[in-house]
Amino acid sequence: MKIKTHRCAGIFAAIGSVLSAWLPAFAAELSSDGATNRPPLQPTPFVALDLGSVKARGWLENQLRLQTDGLTGNAEEVIPELGPENGWRGGNGEGWEKGPYYLRGLVSLAYVSGDPKLKKQAQVWIDSLLDTQREDGQIGPKSNNDWWPRMVITWTLRDYYEATKDPRVIPALLKYSRFMLARLPQQPLQEWAKARAGDQIDTLYWLYNRTGESFLLEVVDLLRKQANQWNSFFTSLHGSPGDFRIDHGVNVSQAMKYPVVNFERTGDPADRTVFAEAWNLLPQKHGLPIGMWSGTEALAGRSTTQGVEMCSIVEQMLSSEVAMKVLGDPLIGDQLERIAFNLLPGGTTKDFKQFQYYTLPNVPAARHGPKGELPFFDDHGDDLLVSPHSGFHCCCYNLHMGWPKYVQHSWMATSDGGIAAVAYGPTEVSAKLGGTPVTILEETDYPFGDVLRFTINPAKPTTFPFKLRIPGWSVKPRVAVNGEFISDIKTGGFLTISRTWKPGDKITAEFPAALETQNSVKGSAAIWRGPLVFSLRIGENRRSVTRIAGGFDEMDFLPTTPWNYALDIDRKDPAANVKLSRGKMPENPWLPETTPLKLTVPAKRLPGWGLVRNDRMADEVPESPASSDQPLEQVTLVPFGAQTLRITAFPLLRGEAVPDPGFAVSFEGHVAPIDAIVGKSQPSSSRGEGVPRFTFWDHTATSEWIEWNFERPEKVSSVSIYWFDDTGFGRCRVPASWRLLCRKGGKWVPISNPPECGVEQNRLNVVNFTPLETSALRIEVHLQPGFSAGLLQLTRE
């Protein structure tokens, strides 16, 4: 038996030139379900298995069953736009992204679960698409010619082909691809298609690998020339001229696959590294302590009052799955599981009949209200409403692919003729390895349990490598083959076990985890154990807002138990006074009353921390360390996905203050983030022609603030601001007034005796003061009646 451990993606960085020489020899030995990259595309360490090759088992199978009996299986009745009049079904109704979004999830769920009812539902849509394809190759309704929704449709058709081998699909996709080749020069990508071209490129590769038609790569190159310049954004978070909505959260998540698929075409190391660079930079600037970054709908900074759009959750999962195939980095699996096991169940109800448009770290109340009342970039009034169509009507169509795609991509074939478990959960995979049918059963309560058991059943004894991802968070992981333990298991890599496998061979893996804290804004902390983050167990009073037959009501959720707690734990050693309790594994582990993992944590209430904005959300988390004269209590934390109402980012009662470097703002308008103007050269005038500008628009006549937090205390002696003023063509003016504060002892205090804070146009307004040492500055801005305000330059010395 040969065993190898690959520590990280670095092992794959040099694989390209070597693989290209010997990969064809292995092509016949890879799963017959997948298809390797044909030259000149770069070879990849993993190969996606066809839809239907992986089946869910255990709690994961029950999750798909709930989805089938819930919103996915009943969407065509609950959401009128999906009825027989939908344009993608041949009717005269909706003809943009809603039908394609839903159909992609429906097809995925139908063939992962094998449910005959769902297959029949999906077939109606598929037959209409294929039967009505026009002579020139165009697919779908005549009501629009937008490239974007067809990117989703062609991905769906490829999924359907993998599951059924319907002979109509490949010719239809080739015909549509020729249509793109002919039409793209005259009808270039616009708006959403510019932002999401990576989806179409991935499907073109899929088609090229199965047909060898070289013109498909010509289409790829046309798309690459017309798309957003994502590489520069992901390495700076600043867009380029001509980019469309490049800071839109869903665009960001969807485009995370763009540099990855570019790398397959170019082989350029710069394309290869962008995915990891984005995963470093986005959490720094916009990270939430729940596994992703904020976007409501635009990127929204590091705040417990901001959240993640449901579309971003499922799109980031799919982008990470594509990136895992191409890059082979085990860290991607860790990241994917944290999204799948927290944000996805956390944003949906536990019977999968409703969801929330935005998923927040702290949300002790979830109520509908007037638009614009909550501090989101786009507040639709019902973004926290628990509903089958919460918020803007895109996520209720797109969320359906989350769990099925996770199951589909939890296993992949490998470039050396083997199989890899890249993301975990109870599943069963079937593939041909070395020409021999092989079935592997994965039995586990993961992520609620630490042990995974694999039973390998080849049709006959067969030699192939089996790769296991060893999570980077695991503590002293153990792996045994037929009871014999493997020594020197390394975390954060792939363990490769090469041997001749016989029917009934077993692998047992154990991935113990420690309790850890993750710092968030204002020194708050979230408690993680492995891939799960924990939230306060809050009692919920559900109040129906709109009755919908079948239990699909729109509901407000109000708390029935206290929620405003600060935890009495050591940030560096939370296990010292936190009790972990394990219970029996239920069929549905996301029900809070029966979830198998719970934490008991000492805490005190903070009476001053309450609900704001008409009692619709928690105020920003108080600064840590917090103080309280309330009695010490023992509170219960459950996995994030087991709660709809929750507190996840807690203030702490002990320890030192933790700097939260970077910027926080009261509101950020739809122009540029605040750090885009920091330290920039002085503009020519307050009109700001050709330079980035930060604004508070569309807030008018309000008091706003900018907080500038340093990594460590610094000496500061001046602050300078160049104000934006668009008199004559807009409603931004210099503010009525502003003032400077600094942080001392965890509190904001005015800077002593500074000169007047200027509000003059067309000049840098400099405020000099006696040098002081502080960890943060705060700029408080009072806007003129009827007007907003903005900045073109912000500096400090």
Q: Please state the rounded mean pLDDT for residues 761-780.
A: 93
Looking at mean pLDDT, say which of 115-129, 231-245, 765-779 comes out highest. 115-129
Q: Which residue has the higher pLDDT, 417 or 671?
A: 417
| pLDDT band, very low/low/confident/very high, at 2 (cuts 50, 70, 90) | low
Give 788's strand partners: 732
Mean pLDDT of 166-190: 98
Q: Is the pLDDT of residue 371 over 50?
A: yes
How many Å apart are CA 550 and CA 615, to the nearest integer?
A: 30
Residue 757 clears pLDDT 50, i.e. is over it: yes
Average pLDDT, integer, range 94-123: 97
Sequence-distant (≥ 6) Cβ neighbours of residue 593 within 8 angstroms: none
DSSP label of 584: P
DSSP 80: G
Cα 624 to chain centroid, rounded: 27
Best CA proximity match to 292, nearest among 316, 326, 266, 323: 316
**CA 551 distance to own-chain centroid:** 28
Lookup: tokens for 429: 């995979």
HEC secondary structure over 32-63: CCCCCCCCCCCCCCEEECCCCCEEECHHHHHH
Q: Report CA-CA distances (Å) from 695 to 48, 436, 739.
A: 44, 62, 17
Distance (Å) of CA 747 to CA 269, 416, 605, 775, 776: 46, 59, 20, 11, 10
Q: What pLDDT is attached to residue 735?
A: 97
Determine the residue type at 700: T
- Give helix 71-78 / helix 98-113 axis angle, nearest 10°: 140
* Tokens, residue 34: 């997948």
Half-sphere exposure at residue 30, Cβ-oriented, CA atoms within 13 angstroms:
23
> How far is 646 from 222, CA to CA, in rounded Å?
46
Query: Cβ-count burial of 603 within 10 angstroms (0-12 exposed, 13-18 middle, 19+ buried)?
Result: buried
Model pLDDT for residues 472-518, shown as the tens digit of each residue: 999 999 999 999 999 999 999 999 999 999 999 999 999 999 999 99
For residues 154-170, one letter each, b for 16 or more C-beta atoms within 10 angstroms of the residue's C-beta and e for the rest, the string is bbbbbbbbbbbeeebbb
Q: Report the chain's C-alpha Rg in angstroms.
A: 27
Q: Work out whether strand 419-421 and strand 462-470 pair parallel, antiparallel, or are unpaired.
A: parallel
Residue 358's pLDDT is 98
Q: What does the buried/exposed string (b/e) look like for 539-570 if buried means 16 or more CB atoms within 10 Å of the residue's CB? A: ebeeeeeeebeeebbbbbbbbeebbbbbbbbe
Confidence of residue 29 (pLDDT cuts 50, 70, 90): very low
DSSP 361: S
Instruction: Give the model confidence (pLDDT) of 289-330 as tens digits.
Output: 999 999 999 999 899 999 999 999 999 999 999 999 999 999
Model confidence band, residue 16 (pLDDT cutoffs 50, 70, 90): very low
pLDDT at 452: 98
pTM of the predicted model as reported, rounded to 2 decimal places = 0.86
Question: In the predicted model, is pLDDT for residue 645 greater than 70?
Answer: yes
Q: Name the residue type at position 58.
A: G
The pLDDT tens digits of the residues spanning 542-565 come to 999 999 999 999 999 999 999 999
Q: Which residues contact 31 (CB under 8 A, 6 or more apart)?
A: 47, 49, 50, 53, 413, 419, 431, 432, 433
Predicted confidence at residue 41, as pLDDT, reads: 97
Task: Tell the burial category of 57 from Cβ atoms under 10 Å away from its Cβ (0-12, 13-18, 19+).
Answer: middle
Answer whether 648's CB lies under 8 Å from 290's CB.
Answer: yes
Query: What's the pLDDT at 4?
Result: 58
CB 270: neighbour CB atoms within 10 A?
A: 13
Band the pLDDT of 747: cuts 50, 70, 90.
Answer: confident
At which residue do the structure tokens 């039973």 appear? 455
Q: Distance between CA 558 and CA 543 in Å, rounded?
A: 8
C-alpha span between 462 and 279 (Å, rounded): 39
Which value, to the nearest 10 degrees, does the dihedral of the CA atoms of residues 339, 604, 575, 472 take?
20
Q: 43-82, pLDDT tens digit by residue?
A: 999 999 999 999 999 999 999 999 999 999 999 999 999 9
Secondary structure class of 538 (helix, strand, coil): coil
- CA-CA distance, 534 to 343, in Å (whole number)? 12
Which pair of structure tokens corresponds to residue 31? Answer: 């799963």
pLDDT of the residue at 18: 32
The pLDDT assigned to 662 comes to: 80
The CB density around residue 68, as the number of other CB atoms within 10 Å, is: 18
SS3 content of the chain, % helix, strand, coil (to 5): 30, 25, 45
